[in-house]
Amino acid sequence: MKYIGIIPARYASTRFPAKPLAILGGKTVIERVYTQVKDTVDYAAVATDDQRIYDTVTAFGGNAIMTSTDCKSGTDRCWQAFSMLENYDNTESTIIINIQGDEPFIQPQQIESLKQCFADPTVDIATLVKPFTPADGLEAIENPNSPKVVVNRKMEAMYFSRSVIPYIRGKEREQWPCLHTYYKHIGLYAYRANILREITQLPQSTLELAESLEQLRWLENGYKIKVGTTDIETIGIDTPADLERAEQYLKTH
């Protein structure tokens, strides 16, 4: 199998415009993401609709693909970028990994965990989760910006939600983290190329619109999502305040 890492990166962002070009520890955020993943895949590229990001990536020696401004999601941008590559076929033997462009601390072993999911030839889509621990507390689990995942015994996703699921009846909410393993969704996806083509053609679903989580569209249409696990905490850059925290993290690690 061939593994292609695509890093969607937009310039426009409501909460943090130009965040891929923000400086973190002397380098842009997008360069840090690219550097972390480029050696874990057969080919890596940043997919963007902005010339400034494109020029920045090529300037540090990375691969960049200019995509349309009409892409509605990172998944759509991944497919468009992949379809522009000439040396890879869009069959089940090619795995495309969708890597968030605002995760500068993503670790190679997290990419490897995703890749291991495809040792099972029946897996079409995979994603990553991190177990919440009791030390994280209920507040972390209740954070709607940290989607939760319910999995079955085969470690396949049953549902994603911004709410705390499951609801533990008859117990005080403060006890819930000690009574059940809740899983935080890490927004990292991998798809077989033929499946990525299929899911980008699906219309938005009611559950997706309700939770604002596009992976629910795939579940509603009958696709299975294999779940890999990681114990590594990621630090996404969504706001300028996140960038400040990331700067402090970089100084201490």
Sign of CA dihedral 91, 5, 190, 207: negative
pLDDT value of position 88: 77
Per-10-residue mean pLDDT for the chain, 253 residues long? 95 86 96 96 96 98 94 93 86 92 93 96 96 94 94 97 96 96 95 96 96 97 97 85 91 84
pTM of the model: 0.93
The β-bridge partners of 95 are 3, 192
What single-letter amino acid sits at 215?
Q
Domains in the chain: boundaries:
2-236
Q: What residues pair up with 227 in beta bridges, in sequence order? A: 127
Token pair for 125? 């889509």
For residue 110, what are its two tokens?
């997290």
The per-residue pLDDT for 253 is: 79
Rounded to whole angstroms, the Cα distance separating 61 from 196 reads 27
How many CB atoms sit inside 10 A of residue 176's CB?
A: 19
Instruction: Give the pLDDT confidence score for residue 14 in this predicted structure.
Output: 76
pLDDT of residue 173: 95
Q: Looking at residue 191, what is its pLDDT?
A: 97
Confidence (pLDDT) at 139: 95
Residue 172, pLDDT score: 95
The topology (CATH level 3) of 2-236 is Spore Coat Polysaccharide Biosynthesis Protein SpsA; Chain A (3.90.550)
